[in-house]
Structure formats: C-alpha cells, structure tokens
Amino acid sequence: MSLTDTYPVWSWNPVTDLRAMWAFPFMVNAFRAGTVVAILAGVIGWYMVLRRQSFAGHTLAQVSFPGAACATLLGITPVVGYFAFCVGAALVIAAIPRAGQGGSGQEAALTGTVQAFGLACGFLFVALYKGFLGGINSLLFGSFLGITTTQVAVLTAVAAATLAMLALIARPLLFASVDPDVAAVRGVPVRVLSVAFLVLLGTATAATSQITGTLLVFALLVMPAATAQQLTARPAAGLAVSVLVGLAVTWTGLIAAYYSPYSIGFFVTTFALGVYALARLARVLAQALARRAPASVRLSGSAV
Amino acid sequence: MSVFTAFDHPYFTHALLAGTGIAAAAGPVGYFLVLRAQVFTGDALGHVAFTGGLAALALGYDLRLGLFAATVVFAVLIGALGRRGRSDDVAIGSVFAWILGLGAFFLTLYSTRGAAHGTAGVSVLFGSIFGLSAGQAGVAALAAAVICASVALIARPLLFASVDETVAAARGVPVRVLGLAFLVLVGACAAEATQAVGSLLSLGLLAAPAGAAHRLTARPYHALALSGGLAVAEMWAGLGLSYAAPRLPPSFAILAVATAVYLATLFTVRPRRGRTMTSRAVRGNVPGRPRL
C-alpha cells in the first residue's frame, strides 16, 4: 500500500493522472477526507480568525496528540481520545475569563501552560506505551495514506453536525465576535456563545487532526481564513473564499504528495502560505490603485 | 535511594548544569513575554526551533547551529515586519503553520536518509536532557548566562517600554529597538530550552513560572527574580523526580512540576486588581515618572 521505492510520474494528462491516482482506494479516501476537512476547517477557521482566537485554536489542535496517545495506551480507539481531550481543553480554555479582545498576557500564560502540559502528557503516554514511538511522527504530522472508509464516514458525520450547530448560532456569533460590548447590551448571550464556539472549535480540531496530524491542523484552520480576510470583509464571501482556498490547497497538496516522497503537510502549508502571500500582495496593490484612481479621474475631468 | 547517588552519574550532573542555566534564562524572559502579552510569539519561536534543528540535522550541521540561527532570524523577522499589535497574530500564525510544514519536510528528508535517524524528530520535539554530553551542557550553561546578562542589561528600559509603550517612547526610550532585542532573546531562549524539554514544550518553561510569578507579586523586579527562581526550582524537582522514577521522561516531569506550581498559585492567590503593576505605573505616570 505504501509508495516506498518508485514514485508515479506526472504525465501532463490530468484525466489519466487522476484516474491512475483514484485507482488506489486510499487515495480516494484521502480526497474525500481532505474535502470534508477543508470545508469544516475553512468555516470554523474563519470565525476563529475573526475572533482573534488563533492561540486558543492552536492549543486545541496540540491537545489532540495526548488524546490519541492516551487512547492508544488504554487500548481504545484513538477517535475517543481525540474528541475527549479536544472538547475537554476547549472547556478549560472557556473557563478562563477573557480580558477584552485578544486577552491579556496572564490568560495567554495559562493557555500556553495548558498546551505545553498537554503535549508533555502525550510524550509521557508515548513513553509508557513502548513500541508506539514509530507511530509518533504520523500522529504529529498525519498520514493521508492510511485513512479508512469508516474514518471518512465518522468525519463526515461530525463535520455535518458541527456545521449545523454553527449555522444555528452563526448570526449572533458574528455579532458577538465583531462587537462583543454592543452585542451584550443588545441581549446577545456573548459568554454562552463564546463557550459554544470553543467547543465547536475543539470538535473540529479533533475531527481534523485524525487526518492531518496534530501539528498541521492549525495550518488549515488559520491560513485559508487569513487569506479570505485579506480579500473581503463580507461574511458570506469570506466564508466562501476560505472554503475554496482550503479545498484548493488540500487537493493540490494531496496530488503533490502523491507524486513525491515528501509529506503532505509540507505541500499543504507551503501552498497555503503562497496563497496567503498572494492575497496580501493583491490587497496592497488594490489599495495603491484605489488611491491613484480618483486622482486620475479628477485629472481627466479637469482636462475636459 | 539516597539523593546523592544521582550525582554519581555524569549524565545527571550534565543535565543539572544545563537545566539550571536554561531555567534561569527562561524564567525572566518568560516574565517579560507574559507582561508584553507575546506568549503566542514564544509559541511560534518554539516551533521554529523544531524546523531549524531538523534543517541543521538534514543538511549535516550541528543541531544547535540550526536551533539558534532559525529562532534568532525568525525573531528579527517578526520584529521587523510588524509592530507588536493584535492584528499580527494571524500573520504569525500563518507563517509558523508553514514553518511546521517545512519541519515535516526536513524530518522526512533526514529520516529517509538513514534508518537510525527515525527518532531524531522525537528528540527535537520533546527534548533529551539526560542525553547531553559535558561539552553540550557547558555550552548550554554559557549561552544561558549570556541570555541572563542581556536580560539584566535591558530590564529597566524594557519594563518601562512594556508597561507603557507610548509614554516610554515619548521619554526617549528606544521602544522599537528594545522590542526587537527582546524578541531575539526570546528566540535564543526558545532554542536553549529545546535542548532541555524540546521545541514543543519550551513554551511551558517560558509561560508557567512567569504566570506564577505574575500571580504572586506585583513588583516587577521581585517577579523577575521569582520567575527565574521558580523555573530553576521546578527544573531541579523535575530532574530529581525523573531520576527517582525512570518511567517518567524528564521533559514530562519538569513540565508537570511547573504546571502544578502554576495551578497552585492560580487557586490560592487571588489576583490583586487594584495593585497590579500596570495600574500602579499608570497612576505613577500622572504626576511624574513611573516608579519602576
């Protein structure tokens, strides 16, 4: 099943290439899972970036590693560990009072301690579970090639449930994220929404980290969303761009990883950073043009 | 088992030497990190250390060269690109997500080259303080001493700049240069801590003692010393614990003690709202210079 010695060659005929790639059931599963993950992470990540909770998102993503390691140590399926630890950590972070937008250093210190301790626990579990050490890299960096059909089904169900929940609270959450003070005055339950969002974020990271590995969940959460927020301020358009960028980098990353000996994570993060850099550049250029355009209009007007 | 049997083993004394230095550097640097609300940056620099370390290994250089070069260069980059503001969090996050992907690339590059290299990534990620040689420990202690001295050198203006940037700038304190110098120190410290507890856990050594010190005292110089002292004590306790119970990896033991101490301060000490350092300094600013 593994592609150890020889790597397939890209033939410049996309139809035959895709057909050859999808002849392998694991590649089909990787594409299915990647699609679901990109949509889920794109939507949740957009809200995460909007709420400036990247650090919390990163911590939740890291905590999935001890979750999986603990479940393996106890002899139960890692899925349980992923969800238990991610949702648990989400509740811990939600219990920390938020001091304004972005939070204070003290709050960040606690979040950081939670994260480092969680990872240290993961390392302990791995050390206690001998023979697991070979799998630690795939746990941390993910392996797209080993996704089973059952995992895809679970992932799809969780993603659908998470997105449905998010759709339910989408409007008040948007209000509470953009202006928490005004939202609170208007009677929006800001605190409850904040807890609910963190739990959804935890669920999404747990679902995603089974596929991409602990360390790279964050890439799919933050980069497409950051790209979208460079390009548009409108929520609907932003969500669409975020999902589309996520899909594009996941698919191209999968294809690149299939044709090379290097890991999927490297390609996905590199493509995502490239798109983000292009989006920033586009924004800078657009602003420069916008500054010049009125001047030129005025000049031509005066000439007439 | 007597405590002193531990010192019969050279690996333990090396670990103690390096660990003490690393903790003494991480404590004060972490205090400023928390004070300036730049913990996320410290997190990012820890991940950069991973990529730098593996890049050096993959290209055949000394591990430490990669650690220090990558973190310091990245620190300068962060400092040069953006003012310290909330809006930069997303940019930092994007870049360091890519840095991790790059680390995964170097990991495959390095581990496919020889079968014996399979666990290199693990030891860079989670540290191997009991595996340091005498020379490595000496270099680690020396680097830590340099970091400590640098922190002591810029502590006073940095405190001023951290507590009230605008007033400090108006008073002629070179706020931007200080911020950049501090980031370089954080980078060096993250590289240092990677050798002890690993790049993923270095954040804990920076954040936990500093968080506890913030909780225990509102006076900046006391807190600086306390943060360093706590970090060193936690390092010693962790090393001793791991020696007594060999099943516990030292990185876990150190982090567990640090987390326990922080949680203890969290639940026993109430934050003094009226007397926090910021409000004191702000109050002090009204008539004259802040009493730092």
Per residue in A179-190, pLDDT (tens digit) is 888 888 988 888
Tell me if chain A has a CB within 8 Å of the CB of B43: yes
Segment (H or E) for A281: helix A264-303
Mutate to test the interface with B, among A2, A119, A242 (most CBs of B within 10 A): A119
Judged by DSSP in three states, A297 sits in helix
pLDDT bin (cut points 50, 70, 90) of residue B276 is very low
Question: Does pLDDT of B147 surpass 90?
Answer: yes
Question: Does pLDDT of A303 surpass 60?
Answer: no
* Angle made by CA atoms A58, A105, B36, in degrees to the nearest 5: 110
Question: Does pLDDT of A200 surpass 90?
Answer: yes
- For B112, the closest of A102, A261, A272 (CB atoms) is A261
Q: Which of A86, A40, A81, A39 has the alpha carbon at shortest distance from A59?
A: A86
Amino acid symbol at A207? A
Does A218 sit within 8 Å of B252, measured CB to CB? no
Chain B closest-CA separation from residue A167 CA (Å): 24
Residue of A nearest to B214 (CA): A106
Chain A closest-CA separation from residue B91 CA (Å): 8
What does the alpha-carbon distance between residue B276 and residue B217 come to, in Å, rounded to a whole number?
9
Q: Looking at beta carbons, which residues of chain A come within 8 Å of B256?
A: 117, 120
Lowest mean pLDDT among A67-71, A245-249, B76-80, B145-149: B76-80
pLDDT for res A265 = 82
pLDDT for res A241 = 95
Tell me if chain B has a CB within 8 Å of the CB of A269: yes
Does B100 sit within 8 Å of A222, measured CB to CB? no
Tell me if chain B has a CB within 8 Å of the CB of A271: no
Tell me if chain A has a CB within 8 Å of the CB of B216: no
Q: How do residues A117-154 score in pLDDT, each as one tens digit?
A: 988 888 888 888 776 555 666 677 766 667 788 888 88
Instruction: For residues B188-202, give the mean pLDDT.
Output: 87
Q: Which of B241, B276, B272 has the alpha carbon at shortest distance from B258?
A: B241
Q: How do residues A17-28 score in pLDDT, each as one tens digit?
A: 777 777 787 788
3-state helix/strand/coil string of chain B: CCHHHHHHCHHHHHHHHHHHHHHHHHHHHHHHHHHCCCHHHHHHHHHHHHHHHHHHHHHCCCHHHHHHHHHHHHHHHHHHHCCCCCCHHHHHHHHHHHHHHHHHHHHHHHHCCCHHHHHHHHHHHHCCHHHCCHHHHHHHHHHHHHHHHHHHHHHHHHHHHHHCHHHHHHCCCCHHHHHHHHHHHHHHHHHHHHHHHCCCCHHHHHHHHHHHHHHHCCCHHHHHHHHHHHHHHHHHHHHHHHHHCCCCCHHHHHHHHHHHHHHHHHHHCCCCCCCCHHHHHHHHHCCCCCCC
pLDDT for res A25 = 79
Q: How do residues B226-272 score in pLDDT, each as one tens digit?
A: 999 999 999 999 999 988 888 888 889 999 999 999 989 888 876 65
Residue of B nearest to A270 (CA): B98
Structure-model confidence comparison of residues A127 and A252, the more confident one: A252
Tell me if chain A has a CB within 8 Å of the CB of B90: yes
Q: How do residues B92-138 score in pLDDT, each as one tens digit?
A: 888 888 888 888 888 878 876 655 555 677 778 887 888 888 888 88
Ordered alpha helix ranges (H), A75-189: 78-95, 105-128, 136-141, 149-178, 180-185
Tell me if chain A has a CB within 8 Å of the CB of B34: yes
What does the alpha-carbon distance between residue B53 and residue B65 come to, in Å, rounded to a whole number?
8
Q: Looking at beta carbons, which residues of chain A come within 8 Å of B206?
A: 112
Does B40 sit within 8 Å of A108, measured CB to CB? yes
Question: Does pLDDT of A2 surpass 60?
Answer: no
Tell me if chain B has a CB within 8 Å of the CB of A101: yes
Tell me if chain A has a CB within 8 Å of the CB of B230: no
Structure-model confidence comparison of residues B223 and B81, the more confident one: B223
- Within 10 angstroms of residue B97's Cβ, the number of other Cβ atoms is 31
Radius of gyration of chain B (CA): 19
Q: Name every residue whose Cβ is closer than 8 Å to that of residue A53 and which is 6 or more positions away in sequence.
A: A198, A201
Question: Does pLDDT of B288 surpass 70?
Answer: no
Structure-token pair, residue B207: 């954040």
pLDDT for res A38 = 92
What one-character DSSP code corresponds to residue A97? P
Question: Does pLDDT of A97 surpass 70?
Answer: no
- For A137, the closest of B107, B258, B259 (CB atoms) is B107
Q: How do residues B115-127 score in pLDDT, each as one tens digit?
A: 555 567 777 888 7
Q: How do residues B197-213 score in pLDDT, each as one tens digit?
A: 888 888 889 999 999 99
* Residue appearing with tokens 């699609």: A35
Q: Which of B25, B21, B41, B45 has the alpha carbon at shortest distance from B33?
A: B41
Spatial contact of A35 and A152, defined as CB atoms under 8 Å apart = no
Q: Looking at beta carbons, which residues of chain B come within 8 Å of A116?
A: 200-205, 207-208, 255, 259
- For A265, the closest of B101, B125, B197 (CB atoms) is B101
Amino acid symbol at B45? L
What does the alpha-carbon distance between residue A186 and residue A198 come to, in Å, rounded to a whole number?
22
pLDDT for res A100 = 42
What does the alpha-carbon distance between residue A86 and residue A204 come to, in Å, rounded to a whole number?
9
Burial (CB count within 10 angstroms: exposed 0-12, middle 13-18, buried 19+), residue A12 = exposed
Let me know how long chain A is.
304
- Report percent pLDDT > 70 for chain B: 85
Q: Name every residue whose Cβ is closer than 8 Å to that of residue A291 and which is 6 or more positions away in sequence.
A: none
Radius of gyration of chain A (CA): 21
